Copies of this chain bind each other. A is one copy, B any other.
Amino acid sequence: MKFSQTFVRTGKEPPAHEVAKNARLLAQAGYIHKEMAGAYAFLPLGFMVLDNIVNIIREEMNRLGGEEMQLTALQRPDVWEATGRWPDNELEVWFKSQLLAGGEVGLAATHEEPLTALMREYIHSYRDLPAYPYQFQTKFRNELRAKSGIMRGREFLMKDLYSFSASWQQHGEFYEKAKQAYTYVFDRLGIGDDTFYTYADGGSFSQFSHEYQTLTEAGEDTIYLSREGGFAINEEVYTDDVLGELGVTRDDMEEVTAAEVANIFPLGTKFSDSLDLTFTDQDGAEQPVIMGSYGIGPGRVMGVLVEKFSDEKGIVWPQAVAPAQVHLAALKGGEAQADSVYAQLQENGIRVLYDDRDESPGSKLADADLMGLPTRLVCSQKTAQSEQVEVTHRASGQTEMLPVAQVTKKFG
C-alpha cells in the first residue's frame, strides 16, 4: 500500500494526555485513536495488526476444534439473575441501559450466562458433548480508571472460548490441549519465551484459574516465577500450601512484574447448575455439564507487544503481526528505483508500505522507526546509482546493501 493513499498521519510527539507507553507510541505512529479514556479506535494500520493477532488466535482455536460464532452485546437480565450476577454490587463493571419498549439491558462484560442459556437448546445428551464454541467479541467494562492504553479498556475485543464437557475427564483432556494451543499462540506472536503459565485464584469456581503472564514492566501483576519449572504463581495465591502443592520452595521463585495476556478457567458446574444446563448420560441419568473458559484479549496482546518491543525511536513489531513486512522509503533521487522495487515486491506477494509521500528524508526515516515494520528499504540517489538498495532491520538496526534483484528473493 502507498503511504500517500492512507489518511493516517504520524504525530511529531506522543499525545500529551496519554500515560501508558503502548498508547503513546501507537497513537503517535497512527495505529490507534483515543475516543475516550479506555476506548480506542483502530486506524487502518492498527486494524491490520489487530487482525493479524486475531487470525493467529483463530487458526489455533480452529485447530483445537473450536467453532466460531458470535453472541450479542445486548444481554437480558434474567440469565444474569439466575446466577446472581445482575446486581451492580456483584458485577461492578456493568454498563446498563433501558429498552424504550420497557425493561433493562446489560452491555456484555462477559458471556458465560447468555452462552450457557443458549446451549440449553443444543445440548441434551452425552452425544452432544463435548462442544467448543468461541467468538471474538467486544466486551464492555465500566472501569473506574482507564490509564493503561489498550491494555485495559472500557471497550475491548476478546476471544472467549468455552468448553462443555460430559465429565471431568473429558474436560481435563481438553484443558490440556487448550494449554498447548495457547503456547502455540504466544510462540507465534513472538512472546512465547517470556510468557508463563501461572497459577492464580480460582474464585468461586475452583482452586486455581490459570493465567498466561508476559514479563513486562508495564504489567499490573506481581508473579513468582520458576524459570526452571516453566511456570509462575500469582502473588494472590503465593502461599506455603500452594508452593508445597507445586513442589517448589520460595528459594526457587523469582519475583517479577508481568501482564496477564490470557486466562483459562475451570468453571465446573457453577453456570450449568444455576442455568439448568444438563445432559442425559449413557445410563439415562441427568447430569450437569462441566464447563471451562478460555480467554485471550487481542487488543491487550497488541498493547503488551508494544510495551515489550519498542525502543526510544518507536515500535519494533514482531514479524507475524506487523501490518506489512517491508517499509519502503523513497528519498530524493531514488523515486524511480523505489517505484520499481515496490512493483517487484508486490508481484511477489510481499506486504509492503511504500512511503511515496513528499516529505523530508529525515521525517521519512523517523516515521519508519516509529512505525516499526520489521525491515526498512531505502532508495536514494546513491542507491539508484549503485543499483542496490539499503536494507535495515528494525530490531537489530543492522544495515546492508543488496542488489535489487536479491531483495524480492530475500523476502519471498
Closest chain-B Cβ to A54's Cβ sits at a distance in Å of 11
Q: Which residues of chain B are within 8 angstroms of A123 by Cβ–Cβ distance?
A: 7
Interface residues of A in 72-100 (CB under 8 A from B): 72-76, 92-93, 95-100
Q: Which residues of chain B are within 8 angstroms of A46 by Cβ–Cβ distance?
A: 69
Q: Which residues of chain B are within 8 angstroms of A105 by Cβ–Cβ distance?
A: 36, 95
A58 to B201, CA, bound (A): 42
Q: Tell me whether A33 is interfacial, beta carbon within 8 Å.
A: yes
Contact, CB under 8 Å: B133 / A7: yes
Contact, CB under 8 Å: B143 / A35: no
Copies of this chain in the oligomer: 2
Interface of A is mostly: mixed
Give the residue of B44, B93, B127 whose beta carbon is less than 8 angstroms from that of A69.
Answer: B44
Interface residues of A in 147-172 (CB under 8 A from B): 154-155, 164
Who on chain B is nearest to A67 by CB? B44
A7 to B8, CA, bound (A): 43
Contact, CB under 8 Å: B70 / A41: yes
Interface residues of A in 46-82 (CB under 8 A from B): 46-47, 50, 65, 67-76
Give the residue of B6, B50, B76, B140 whose beta carbon is less than 8 angstroms from that of A35.
Answer: B76
Contact, CB under 8 Å: B42 / A99: no
Interface residues of A in 1-52 (CB under 8 A from B): 5-9, 33, 35-37, 39-44, 46-47, 50
Q: Which residues of chain B are within 8 angstroms of A145 by Cβ–Cβ distance?
A: 101
Contact, CB under 8 Å: A67 / B36: no
Contact, CB under 8 Å: B47 / A70: yes
Closest chain-B Cβ to A85's Cβ sits at a distance in Å of 17
Given contacts A8-B122, A97-B97, could you give 10 more A-B pairs where the C-beta distance is less than 8 Å?
A7-B119, A7-B133, A9-B122, A35-B76, A35-B118, A36-B105, A39-B74, A41-B69, A47-B70, A101-B144
**A-B complex: 4 closest residue pairs judged by Cβ atoms:** A7-B131, A44-B67, A42-B70, A39-B72
